Amino acid sequence: MTRARWTSGEASDRDEFNLTRVFFFAALHLGVLAVFWQTNWMAIGMAVMLHVICGGLGVCVGYHRLLTHRSFKCPKIVEYAFALAGSLSMQGGALEWVALHRKHHQHSDKDGDPHNAAEGFWWSHMLWVLHTPTNENWRAILGSILLAVGLYFLGGWPFVVWGVCVRLVATYHITWFVNSASHMWGYKNFESDDLATNCWWVALLSYGEGWHNNHHAFPTSARHGMKPWEIDFSYYFIRAMKTVGLAWDLYVPSPEKMKEKLAQKADLIAGRFSETAGKFSETAEELKEKFSETADELAEKLSPPTAEEPA
């Protein structure tokens, strides 16, 4: 894999394949195997709690909906808390994550998209992560190291295995499924010029991020689940924050805006149907003419010879 696979004239800030990351992710996945020896219910509970705080609140609500798209406002101290929680998911610092995701929206599934789904499932899922920026900031992992040390003193190796290895591997793959599965499988409520889809199982795993077609249609919306059955835990949390006065200026597209998008999709479908119907009509006419010609030729061949009249 080379840099040319996913950069355009506007170069990405990631430009070289990094074996260090290969070893890191391999070690992290191998560390999960330690659950066969280092497991207790307290450790499992710690992993679930940290996953909700660091992955659900830190990445989904903080990094994504707040810092990247500014879909709502909150006190600065709360914003900093979200950023800190997101950094403990080891997906890079807030600035790097925001810049990368905005580039994804700018070039979605085209040249320049860091995890272009048009390059295939595995590229968009995790292979793209193995290309790192030349100015990668390793200070972003300091918080996770301190967390691991704290977990060890709090609950020994079971806390480290579950609270670090299991939690991070789960968070990584759930985040990556939004980039891969939610660009390949599912349905679309709104027409778009990319591959983003609404994938229900990814949405359930990612606190609502899997309603990706909705998100690409309205990137700055605090709400991703637009239909009543599209469960969106991140939005529910933001609404709860608003209820207690910790969030305001939530942006959610109006019914008129959504109807406008749906009308665009309906017009496009109608246009495609009309185009297809026109092609079928042309094909039917061609077949009719060919059938008529063939029938005439066959009739000539099967007609008995005309008897000669006597002189």
Question: Is 110 within 8 Å of 124 (Cβ atoms)?
Answer: no
Q: How far apart are CA 10 and CA 25, in angstroms?
A: 28
pLDDT of residue 10: 43
The pLDDT score that the predictor gives to residue 123 is: 93
Give me the DSSP letters along 31-98: HHGGGGTS--HHHHHHHHHHIIIIIIIIIIIIIIIIIIT--SB--HHHHHHHHHHHHTTTS--HHHHH
CA dihedral for 165, 168, 174, 176, sign (positive or negative): negative
DSSP bridge pairs for 73: 248
Predicted pLDDT at 33: 97
Q: How far apart are CA 1 and CA 124, in angstroms?
A: 13
**How many other C-beta atoms lie within 10 A of the C-beta of residue 131?**
20
Interior CA angle at 72 toward 69 and 75, to 5°? Answer: 115
Per-residue pLDDT of the chain (311 residues; tens, 9 = 90+): 344 444 443 444 456 788 888 999 999 999 999 999 999 999 999 999 999 999 999 999 999 999 999 999 999 999 999 999 999 999 988 998 999 999 999 999 998 899 999 999 999 999 999 886 645 556 668 889 999 999 999 999 999 999 999 999 999 999 999 999 999 999 999 988 899 999 999 999 999 999 999 999 999 999 999 999 999 999 999 999 999 999 999 999 988 888 887 766 555 555 555 566 556 666 667 766 776 676 666 666 665 555 554 54
Query: End-to-end alpha-carbon separation of the chain, Å?
Result: 90
- Say what the pLDDT of residue 258 is: 87
- Residue 19 has a pLDDT of 87
How much is the pTM?
A: 0.80
The per-residue pLDDT for 5 is 44
